[in-house]
Structure 1
Amino acid sequence: MWYEILPSFGIVVAAMGIPHLSAYVINKVAIGNFYRRRLLTEEEKRNYLRDTRLTNNPYTIAGLENIPDS
């Protein structure tokens, strides 16, 4: 009957979904957020961490005006 395909359908869905969902977990552990950001060079990673430290948001660009004077 039609319900005989449910186990194989579940296996296919799990096999397709596990890599996609594990990418979010890996990004949360490695970078600190669930979003993917290209960090190919050390300079990009350093800028990412600097923006996170200065503005608490890595996607808001922090220029010289955002650095405290003290």
Structure 2
Amino acid sequence: MWFEILPSYGIIVAAFIAPTVITYGINKLAYGKPFRRNLRYEFERLSYMRDERLTGNAYKVQGLEAIKP
């Protein structure tokens, strides 16, 4: 019958959703924010963290005047 596919369907759906949920939880625990950029290189990660620390928002472009002495 048609309901015999439900267990297999549930396993496949769980396999596709699990990485997203696990990544969300790890980022929330480790960084305090649920979503982070996929920073593959050390320089990109350090630049991102510097921009966020100095200006409060790593994605909003701000010049040198935004840096507080």
> How high is the TM-score relative to the length of structure 1?
0.68
Deviations 1:18-65 (A, max 9, x none): 123223233334444333424233222221111211222221234311
Amino acid at match of 2:18: I
Task: Answer yes or no: is 1:54 the counterpart of 2:47.
Answer: no
C-alpha RMSD over aligned residues: 2.2
Which 10-residue stretch deviates more, 2-11 or 60-69? 60-69
Corresponding residue number in structure 2 for 1:15 = 15
Instruction: Name the CA shift for 1:38/1:61 in 2 (closer, same or farther; >3 Å).
Output: farther
- The answer for unaligned runs of 5 or more in structure 1 is none
The percent identity for this pair of structures is: 52
- The answer for unaligned runs of 5 or more in structure 2 is none
Corresponding residue number in structure 2 for 1:42 = 42
